[in-house]
Amino acid sequence: MPDARTPAVAGTFYPANPAALNADLATYINNAESSAPPPKAIIVPHAGYIYSAPIAASAYKAIAQGRENFQRVVLLGPSHHVSFHGIATSSASHFLTPLGAIAIDCDAVNQLLQLKQVHQLDEAHAQEHSLEVQLPFLQTVLNDFLLIPLVVGSASAEEVAEVIEQLWGSDKTLIVVSSDLSHYQDYEHARTTDQATTRKIETLHYQNITGHDACGHHPLNGLLLAARHHHLRVTTVDLRNSGDTAGPHNKVVGYGAYLLHETVA
């Protein structure tokens, strides 16, 4: 596929071998504790699988219960390698992982390009792991789906929310925001910081979440603003850090998994 985006972190953040990757994903999802119904949106971490996949799996297990329903995924994550203002689309027609190809909703992407904050910027996607690490999870818990991958640079909550609103769709559209929480504090300070950030997320206080709280604060805040408009409620299904999974306690990265459901009148 000459116009496909190829994996950048297969073999480092997660296994490049399909059988090993499938086995790991099955273990993470089977071990996750979640009995929630399928949500409209999720917030999940994006570190190497040994660190954050057990936490992410708690949200993806709820998605699996809507396997037959979801037909499109809007995936937003922060830019770690390229600095830019706005939101970056890709020119690719497919994104590849060791588990196969995912087709892009090119019509929706082209419509987004009419918004002033949205630009086609393949460089932002080329090495970006925040989106890529979510793809094998999505391939595991969903049937065939179309993908709208968006790397978010420096963008306001309002700019991101406008994009999300355009893509909101029906209950067949799932929104995924990829973000870790605090970075490189000691274990106890990270727990305190991440618990405070979680309270902001649960109460949709997007105005007070900064880069100190979450590396994906730009897409996260946009989702929370849109969630306010649509009266979604947030449930935290897991909150840990790298010290709880596979890392030392002196410098940890925080990970949270959150489900966003429509409220029932």
* Each residue's pLDDT tens digit, 234-250: 999 999 999 999 999 99
Separation CA 45–CA 237 (nearest Å): 12
Residue 161 lies in a domain: yes
Residue 3 lies in a domain: no
CATH code for the domain in which residue 130 is found:
3.40.830.10
Residue 221 lies in a domain: no
Write the DSSP symbol of residue 26: H
* Each residue's pLDDT tens digit, 184-230: 999 999 999 999 999 999 999 999 999 999 999 999 999 999 999 99
Residue 263: its pLDDT value, please?
84
Residue 170 lies in a domain: yes
Residue 117: its pLDDT value, please?
98
Non-local CB neighbours of 144 within 8 Å, separated by 6+ positions: 71
Count up the domains in the chain and report the number.
1
Residue 96 lies in a domain: yes
Residue 72 has pLDDT above 80, yes or no: yes
- Give me the mean pLDDT over the 251-258 stretch: 98
* Each residue's pLDDT tens digit, 5-15: 999 999 999 99
| 65 band by pLDDT with thresholds 50, 70 and 90 | confident
142 lies in which domain range?
A: 12-211+226-262
How many whole angstroms from its chain centre is CA 13? 15
CA quadruple 254, 188, 34, 105: dihedral, nearest 10: -10
Alpha-helical (H) ranges within the chain are 18-31, 49-64, 106-112, 122-126, 129-132, 135-141, 157-167, 187-202, 217-229, 242-245
Residue 63 lies in a domain: yes
- Give me the mean pLDDT over the 57-86 stretch: 95
* Each residue's pLDDT tens digit, 138-171: 999 999 999 999 999 999 999 999 999 999 999 9
Q: What is the DSSP string of 170-215?
A: STTEEEEEE----EEE-HHHHHHHHHHHHHHHHTT-GGG--TTT-T
Residue 183 lies in a domain: yes
Average pLDDT over the chain reads: 96
Separation CA 152–CA 89 (nearest Å): 9
Residue 16: its pLDDT value, please?
98
* Contact in structure between 49 and 24 (CB atoms under 8 Å): yes
Q: Over the range 194-217, which residues count as b (16 or more CB within 10 Å of their CB) and which as e?
A: beebbebbeebebeebeeebbbbb
Q: Which residue has the tokens 């002196």?
A: 250
Residue 264: its pLDDT value, please?
67
Q: Which of 94, 96, 74 is nearest to 178 (CA)?
A: 74
As a 3-state breakdown, the chain gives helix, strand, coil percent values, each rounded to 5, of 40, 25, 35
Residue 199 lies in a domain: yes
